[in-house]
A and B are shown apart, each in its own frame.
Chain A
């Protein structure tokens, strides 16, 4: 019986030695999910039958010496905004009730081609809009470290599933911090690659120019391994980067001597509202890297203070258009007995979308309206260019930028649901990486009041290898990522 605390490496070792089988691992994941998930609500849908049959296939391959690689037979979870042929995906929204996809998205396909076994879809904020996984049409996910706290969001289900040891790997998506902030809150590694590094084909869009698929694991080394599998150019996504995928694991030499870690003054000095214990943990992590041989240098990202506003203009504008297809005509929820076309649209969408999604559709529609476009959307795009230049300039002076991932540790369930603006400020340290399109990763760097603190490392475009190298080196000097939520240890 697989234990909760196993890492990818340990899973693999047990498969290689024949001590366990993929079927056993998947059965264990399913049964743990059944027991634990009553309380945590990490998953919105399990794929028991399909997963068991995939696991048996993997065991057969292994027995015949045809294992496909390091992920063959490993149970994984995917976020509910990723489609897979023959399976439901709902984005945790009533409007997609009953939608079964006739095709599989690229990232999921690549995971499956590598032999990974998808055990289910994980909970999220509806359409990835939120920072707590409370805006789900299902029950809110709970933080494995403290069940009356949120796991962060929007990929809270994936983060909590890895933290609780239900699966060693989960995919998430990150539009403004939706992988990194829940990774920080749940004490796991969350990697958002460079925009375009992983294909968005089959990822149900929230904000197309910001959305990026990434991974949750326990360690940076595991994240590197999964990224190698899912990354790479995809002709089905015109925005995917036509660059070869490096062997990220080869960059993980544990050595940071001579590397420069940049600390943006804007994140540390003018960060009102940032929990001092979070700041202290991050500073201590940076000191660890310094002791390991890295140089620390102050850098400047002067347009940071416009980032959250810019993000909410661009993301809502794109969302208002991306979500127009959910109209009750072709799939998903359609209001019963509509009086006419207008009534069908109005009621299908009013009944199908939750409050936060409606709020963002309304905001985005306004942002794109005639007469406001120049003041909002075009201006936001200009600021975005400035933010990108900030990063370009900063990366001339350093190899990675280190900041807190979130201004605080996990907050309580219900604490911010009535105050959207406070909820939006959870993203204050993460949105810039999406706007600039740079890779960023969150990793555990300490605890405050019994809850994990996240360190964010950002790199230059396509420099995932550098980010992973520094994160891995840090993890060789710390054991925060080996800590388990007491109940799930």
Chain B
């Protein structure tokens, strides 16, 4: 059995994601959705909850919600109902938020997420409980520098902005799995043009429910909710910190209390915002100002027809057409631009497995080191295909080529020219290589004896020595041949 993240406890994580839908106007009012406008410039009587106003549902938001449901394998319901979630807060103008409660638009979906378990890379299915539409609240500004005195100001530009809330089952077992799920989910909503997924603007944010239980236990432990995490790094850190906090409590014989938590990135600790002694009573009831949302099956099918090829269909095709593993195919298709890049490299002449392996290993590492998305890098698909062709044709070595990836990602360029400029052509001149091989044999007589005795792994060591001497430029095929002749 896997020990997982903690030796004593199994970690159970469920995530609630709020992603802002890409619409021009708000969910129930004609006010524009815009970012960075002066406070209270994107408002309408409906967003301010003036007396006598009524909500009218934005039909584009419904289309986007259907797309999100279909792309995550949910059932899209022919009837869903908007409900009022009642609570008082100054940035909540009506005193209630219009959301969906008992009858959400989508339920019962899943996403396949690439994870690592016990060192193995595999796909894990994370179930999605539900997806529903709701409106965002406004923003309270407590900053005295802005308000000029000890006062709170409220900006309603965001009030009524359309959100999708996507709720997962508690299927994740480590902070890494949680982040892997979020990366896939974010790429899906971007893939299908439902959201820009911009985390810095708060357009893709997450609440994490975290609990611990003894390995092998059936019952879930008491969970806490980490609120408003808006970067992958903070999410991972916050969950890790919360696991630590809960484990310490449990180790000391204490118990975890149900609470809403905040993460303090400076101290790398979570702290209790408030305990939930009794469940909050939001007095949900169907919003009598709105009629049930009724979609007929043919409408849902029409939306399905407008979706791009979805990640898993594409992954299946990649496995079939290019002989990739399910893991490779899933990672490549996790983002639409990544998958497009892969296909462009293949289009430019590279073989599928070679392209996949270069992209997943070297290109991805270079991107990650620079915190870049593929679309923001300077690497052209033709350049990568050209470089792969040079390696396969023996004109440069894999090692030399690998050294160029970072530069290509950062600054771009033509691999032929770069190889020539840096003198990275493979050395295949037999005379030169014979001299180097002889030197290596002379320097390692014991190893040569072991190779003669049948220890094949020593061959790799000797090859490595030749490569070292030639700065990686030796053509491995030629070296292998000379070594075989000499050692006999």
Identify the A interface with B (CB < 8 A): 81-83, 89, 91, 96, 99, 101-103, 105, 200-205, 207-209, 235-239, 317-318, 320-321, 323-325, 327, 329-331, 341, 345, 365, 368-370, 373, 377
Contact = CB atoms under 8 A, between A and B. Distances in A.
A373 B94 contact: no
Contacts of A105: 52
A241 to B, nearest CB: 11
Contact of B96 (A82, A200, A201, A324): A324
Contacts of A330: 48-50, 93
Contacts of B53: 201-202
Contact of A91 (B51, B90, B154): B51
Size class of the contact patch on chain B:
20 to 34
Contacts of A323: 95
B31 to A, nearest CB: 13
Interface string B140-173: 0000000000001010000000000000000000
Interface stretch (B63-71, B281-289, B469-477): B281-289
Interface majority SS (helix, strand, loop, mixed), chain A: loop
Contact of B290 (A91, A103, A238, A370): A238
Contacts of B56: 235-236, 238
B303 interface: no
Given A208-B288, A330-B93, A321 B52 contact: no
B288 A238 contact: no
A369 B281 contact: yes
Nearest to B45: A103
Contacts of B281: 369-370
A83 B51 contact: yes
B285 A317 contact: yes
Contacts of B55: 238
Contacts of A239: 54, 288-291
Contact of B95 (A96, A202, A235, A321): A321
B129 interface: no
B199 interface: no
A102 B43 CA distance: 13
B305 interface: no
B279 interface: yes
B274 to A, nearest CB: 15
- The 10 nearest A-B residue pairs measured at CB: A324-B95, A209-B288, A368-B283, A208-B288, A204-B51, A325-B49, A202-B52, A370-B281, A83-B52, A204-B52
B52 A205 contact: yes
B316 interface: no
Contacts of A208: 288-289
B288 A325 contact: no
A323 B281 CA distance: 18
Interface in B37-87: 45, 48-57, 84, 86
Nearest to B282: A370
Nearest to A211: B288
Contact of A200 (B48, B54, B285): B54
Contacts, number: 100
A136 to B, nearest CB: 17
A238 B285 contact: no
Contacts of A368: 86, 283-285
Nearest to B28: A238
B283 A327 contact: no
B69 to A, nearest CB: 22
7 contacts: A99-B51, A204-B51, A239-B290, A317-B285, A331-B51, A369-B283, A373-B283
A483 to B, nearest CB: 36
B88 interface: yes
Contacts of B94: 324-325
B29 to A, nearest CB: 10
A89 B51 CA distance: 9
B90 A341 contact: yes
Contacts of B154: 329
Contacts of A83: 50-52
Contact of B52 (A82, A341, A370, A373): A82
Contacts of B290: 238-239
A325 B52 contact: no
A321 B84 contact: yes
A203 B52 contact: yes
B288 to A, nearest CB: 4
Contacts of B57: 238
Given A321-B96, A324-B96, A341-B90, A331 B50 contact: yes
Nearest to A331: B50
Contacts of B285: 317, 321, 368, 373, 377
A370 B279 contact: yes
B86 A324 contact: yes
Contacts of B289: 205, 208, 238-239
B51 A318 contact: no
A121 to B, nearest CB: 13
Interface in B284-330: 284-285, 288-291
Contacts of A102: 45, 50
A102 B53 CA distance: 11
A370 B48 CA distance: 28
B411 to A, nearest CB: 53
Contacts of B152: 341
A370 B289 CA distance: 22
A91 B56 CA distance: 24
Contact of B283 (A89, A201, A236, A321): A321
Nearest to A318: B288
B50 A321 contact: no
A438 B194 CA distance: 41
Interface string B441-453: 0000000000000
Given A209-B288, A324-B95, A324-B96, A365 B51 contact: no
A330 to B, nearest CB: 6
A101 B52 contact: yes
Contact of B54 (A99, A201, A365, A370): A201
Contacts of B51: 83, 89, 91, 96, 99, 101, 204, 325, 331
A57 B88 CA distance: 45
Contacts of B291: 238-239
Nearest to A370: B281
A239 to B, nearest CB: 6
Contacts of A236: 54, 56
A103 B49 CA distance: 13
A315 to B, nearest CB: 10
B95 A237 contact: no
Nearest to A90: B51
Q: Which of A82, A89, A235, A330 has the most CB of B within 10 A?
A: A330
A128 to B, nearest CB: 12
Nearest to A105: B52
B52 A345 contact: no
Nearest to B57: A238
Contacts of A201: 52-54
Given A239-B290, A325-B49, A370-B279, 16 more contacts: A82-B52, A91-B51, A101-B50, A101-B52, A103-B50, A200-B52, A203-B52, A204-B51, A208-B288, A323-B95, A324-B86, A330-B50, A341-B152, A368-B283, A370-B283, A373-B285
A232 B347 CA distance: 59
Q: Which of A105, A208, A209, A238 has the most CB of B within 10 A?
A: A238
Nearest to B289: A208
B139 to A, nearest CB: 13
B84 A327 contact: no
Interface string B93-105: 1111000000000
A327 B154 CA distance: 13
B15 to A, nearest CB: 25
Nearest to A199: B54
Contacts of A318: 288
A324 B281 CA distance: 15
A345 B88 CA distance: 9
Contacts of B90: 327, 329, 341
Nearest to B91: A329
A204 B279 CA distance: 32
